[in-house]
Chains A and B, each alone.
Chain A
Amino acid sequence: MSATTQSPTAADSRTPSKAQRLLGDRRLPVAATALLFLVMYGVGLGRYQYYGFAEPQVFLNLFIDNSYLLVAAVGVTFVILSGGIDLSVGSVIGFTTMFTAWLVERQGVPLLLVIPMALVVGAFGGFLMGYVIHNFEIQPFIVTLAGLFLFRGLCLVISKESISISDSAVSSMAQTQVSLGMGFLSIGAIVSLVVLAVAFYVLHYTRFGRRVYAIGGNGQSALLMGLPQGGTTIAVYTVSGFCSALAGLLFTLYIQSGDPLHATGMELDAIAAVVIGGTLLTGGSGYVVGTLFGVLVLGLIKSIIQFEGTLSSWWTKIATGVLLCAFILVQRVMTGRKKT
């Protein structure tokens, strides 16, 4: 290995072979997920051609039916890139549906006022968790676990029963279809794609984005370089809280009710999407575009199971678990190679 010297870029003393360079490429996991998505879609096309799988709307429905998951997973991507984890996502989503339904239905507050309120509450919850994690050096796992309990509890405090929303503003917004020529998208899907684009810009083209990668890659060196580690950590959890609340709003639109048990365990779906999207759970490496493909793959599993008809919903969970496992192992093999 060390015999092949002569590398002009000097950072590495050896020139990796083409295959090694390919394997070491950080974009490979994202490409693998994208490829997996295409293969699954192709299989779907082959199997369910005569049941209308090929219609563009089936593809667009992936974005419509998973808009909330995409937004939540984008928030989780920030946290995982920074080397943390956020377990409170599902609870915050559930809480937001309750909060929105309760204010709109029971208190008669206009929807346009409720939306910013919900977003502020979610972001503030995330801020608090980030504040505690940074200032008191408690593991993110346990702090966000407390957040999980707290927000789920607050759901139940608002109401034990589910509240259905009959507000005209909500239903008209939910039913709005944005035509794309070959099909349509819902407002939720549009919002989620905007969130994705903003996240992409922030992570790859701003100083804040670099800091997130830096503290996830190596918090100690980031600190020594003078990066504001604390501020970044707190900001990352605030972003995640904000995204969770936004995802909650989209979920409310999608399902038009608030229920204390909505989105139970959705944090796991979000984490799974991020992992399947190729983001390293140790932090510092990954792309938010990968998260999109992760969400699409999870969504496609659900569609395929629907089209299959005979498969039951629990196969979704099993398939998700198997995929998750495969991607974790692939990641492990790749990072293991890099080290040695």
Chain B
Amino acid sequence: MSTTSRWRALTHHHLFWPVAVLVFLLLVNVPFTPDFFSVKMTDGHLYGSLVSIVLFGSPLILVAVGMTVVIATGGIDLSVGAVVAITGALACSYISHQADQGALSGVLLAMGLGLLAAVVCGLWNGFLVARMGIQPIIATLIIMVAGRGVAQLITDGQIITIESKPYELIGGGYWLTLPFSIFVVAVVVAVTVALTRRTALGLLIEAVGGNAEASRLVGIRSRRIKIMVYVFCALCAAIAGLMISSNTSAADGNNAGLWIELDAILAVVIGGTSLLGGRFSIGGTVVGALVIQTLTTTIYTIGVPTQTNLVFKAAVVIVVCLLQSPKFRAKVFGAKFGARFGAKSGAKTAVASADTAAETDAAPKMEVS
């Protein structure tokens, strides 16, 4: 009795299925790369597939964490890719104009400039959504369209390459044997979790997402919260932008962060946050982003042609979304199964969708192996 109930509690934890998929995906790699889990120490740095998954997944995790908070308020932010491009372009062009590109003060100023630009973008998005009452998809579309133009304007249409040791640290450097970007991600995630789960902020965000009008009547400043989440999301995107441009030591206004908004939304959905808002899970999102990165890595290591990557992603999105739909579950699995997950309305639906989503999320990938 107690073991079964403990098992039930475990499988009903909202992180269970996303984590299960992640573990499954990691295990799929073992037959193809036997030393997949081994982490070697070379030149005082840790190397290994696991480390590189987190390293290459860092920008996506950051953007997805910001996106989670926005989606929790019932919104969506399409402009993150453009913000990534703008930030990288600003920072790199500032550094490239310095006499000494390695000077720490110049690098810090460049980063500050990038972050400031992101805050402006976030304020603008938040203003349109919260003050003007424009649908989030449309409001953020403006910067998505114009932002890449601005980024190219900053870089003058060129790919700016820089040589700056301190700047390289953010995206390509090592600290305490681990890639520095992992620490950046850890700090951002920890701060976000602390702010949203140790204070009432998370609750307020969910209240706004559940019903903005009701929360306003209750006395929550829903407009201010909405503006805040867009600024936060833009800041996360900006850090990702710094990381990407630092990793390549270059700013590419056209291609930096291309389609990252779509990957981020996908990560949020895999992590069990409903696109309807009102409920979110930062942990789920981090796992979701890792699932996407692992999927990409797996496709590489297994030797599946990389061009099918997008088709797999599409399959994952479709399956995840279908399983989030109560109607689909009722039709395919019958009323009983549908009820099992559907009946726990409200609070549990997001969780239910996450675990069922994750369950067959693995299906298309099994074909790979």
- Tell whether, in the assembled complex, residue B325 and residue A321 are in contact, meaning their CB atoms are under 8 Å apart: no
CA distance A272 to B143 in the complex (A): 12
- Tell whether, in the assembled complex, residue A138 and residue B157 are in contact, meaning their CB atoms are under 8 Å apart: no
A31: which B residues are within 8 A, CB to CB? Answer: none
* A-contact 0/1 string along B296-333, CB 8 Å cutoff: 00000000000111111111011001101111100100
Binds B, one of A15-23, A51-59, A115-123, A147-155: A147-155
- Tell whether, in the assembled complex, residue A150 and residue B310 are in contact, meaning their CB atoms are under 8 Å apart: yes
- Tell whether, in the assembled complex, residue A268 and residue B146 are in contact, meaning their CB atoms are under 8 Å apart: no
The yes or no answer to B247 lying at the interface (CB within 8 A) is no
Nearest Cβ on chain B to A1's Cβ, whole angstroms: 22
Check A153/B324 contact, CB under 8 A, given A318-B150, A318-B153, A328-B138: no
B322 to chain A: closest residue by CB: A136
CA distance A141 to B265 in the complex (A): 11
A336: which B residues are within 8 A, CB to CB? Answer: 133
A322 to chain B: closest residue by CB: B146
The yes or no answer to A156 lying at the interface (CB within 8 A) is yes
- Tell whether, in the assembled complex, residue A318 and residue B149 are in contact, meaning their CB atoms are under 8 Å apart: yes
Nearest Cβ on chain A to B175's Cβ, whole angstroms: 35
- Tell whether, in the assembled complex, residue A149 and residue B141 are in contact, meaning their CB atoms are under 8 Å apart: no
- Tell whether, in the assembled complex, residue A142 and residue B275 are in contact, meaning their CB atoms are under 8 Å apart: yes
The yes or no answer to A316 lying at the interface (CB within 8 A) is yes
CA distance A138 to B275 in the complex (A): 10
A148 to chain B: closest residue by CB: B262
Nearest Cβ on chain B to A87's Cβ, whole angstroms: 9
B321: which A residues are within 8 A, CB to CB? Answer: 132, 136, 138, 142-143, 146
B310: which A residues are within 8 A, CB to CB? Answer: 149-150, 152-153, 156
Among B148, B150, B317, B328, contact of A145 (Cβ-Cβ < 8 Å): B317
Q: Is the interface of A mostly helix, strand, loop or mixed?
A: helix
* A-contact 0/1 string along B132-145, CB 8 Å cutoff: 11110111011111
The yes or no answer to A271 lying at the interface (CB within 8 A) is yes
B152: which A residues are within 8 A, CB to CB? Answer: 312, 314, 317
A318: which B residues are within 8 A, CB to CB? Answer: 146, 149-150, 153
The yes or no answer to A220 lying at the interface (CB within 8 A) is no
- Tell whether, in the assembled complex, residue A332 and residue B262 are in contact, meaning their CB atoms are under 8 Å apart: no
The yes or no answer to A48 lying at the interface (CB within 8 A) is no
> Interface extent on B, as a size class?
35 or more
B147 to chain A: closest residue by CB: A321
B324: which A residues are within 8 A, CB to CB? Answer: 138
Check A138/B325 contact, CB under 8 A, given A145-B317, A148-B262, A321-B145: yes
- Tell whether, in the assembled complex, residue B135 and residue A282 are in contact, meaning their CB atoms are under 8 Å apart: yes
Nearest Cβ on chain A to B222's Cβ, whole angstroms: 18
A146: which B residues are within 8 A, CB to CB? Answer: 314, 317-318, 321
The yes or no answer to A300 lying at the interface (CB within 8 A) is no
Nearest Cβ on chain A to B230's Cβ, whole angstroms: 15
Number of A-B residue pairs with CB-CB distance less than 8 Å in the complex they form: 131
The yes or no answer to A281 lying at the interface (CB within 8 A) is yes
- Tell whether, in the assembled complex, residue A332 and residue B149 are in contact, meaning their CB atoms are under 8 Å apart: no
Check A136/B327 contact, CB under 8 A, given A141-B137, A321-B147: yes
CA distance A227 to B182 in the complex (A): 54
- Tell whether, in the assembled complex, residue A271 and residue B141 are in contact, meaning their CB atoms are under 8 Å apart: yes
* B-contact 0/1 string along A114-141, CB 8 Å cutoff: 0000000000000000001001111101
Among B128, B144, B150, B327, contact of A135 (Cβ-Cβ < 8 Å): B327
* A-contact 0/1 string along B148-166, CB 8 Å cutoff: 1110110011000000000
The yes or no answer to A157 lying at the interface (CB within 8 A) is yes
- Tell whether, in the assembled complex, residue B322 and residue A142 are in contact, meaning their CB atoms are under 8 Å apart: no
The yes or no answer to A295 lying at the interface (CB within 8 A) is no
A329: which B residues are within 8 A, CB to CB? Answer: 132
**Interface core residue of A132, A260, A312, A325 (most chain B CB under 10 Å):** A325
The yes or no answer to B253 lying at the interface (CB within 8 A) is yes
The yes or no answer to A324 lying at the interface (CB within 8 A) is yes
B240: which A residues are within 8 A, CB to CB? Answer: none
The yes or no answer to A320 lying at the interface (CB within 8 A) is yes
B331: which A residues are within 8 A, CB to CB? Answer: 135-136
B128: which A residues are within 8 A, CB to CB? Answer: 328
B139: which A residues are within 8 A, CB to CB? Answer: 328
Among A149, A268, A325, contact of B314 (Cβ-Cβ < 8 Å): A149
Among B147, B269, B311, B328, contact of A157 (Cβ-Cβ < 8 Å): B311
Enumerate 22 A-B pairs (CB-CB under 8 Å) in ascending A order: A137-B325, A137-B326, A138-B324, A142-B265, A143-B321, A145-B317, A149-B314, A150-B318, A153-B310, A154-B311, A157-B308, A281-B138, A312-B152, A312-B153, A315-B149, A317-B146, A318-B149, A318-B150, A320-B149, A321-B143, A324-B141, A325-B146
A138-B325, A157-B311, A281-B135 known; 8 other A-B pairs, CB under 8 Å?
A157-B308, A268-B145, A312-B153, A314-B150, A314-B157, A318-B146, A318-B153, A336-B133
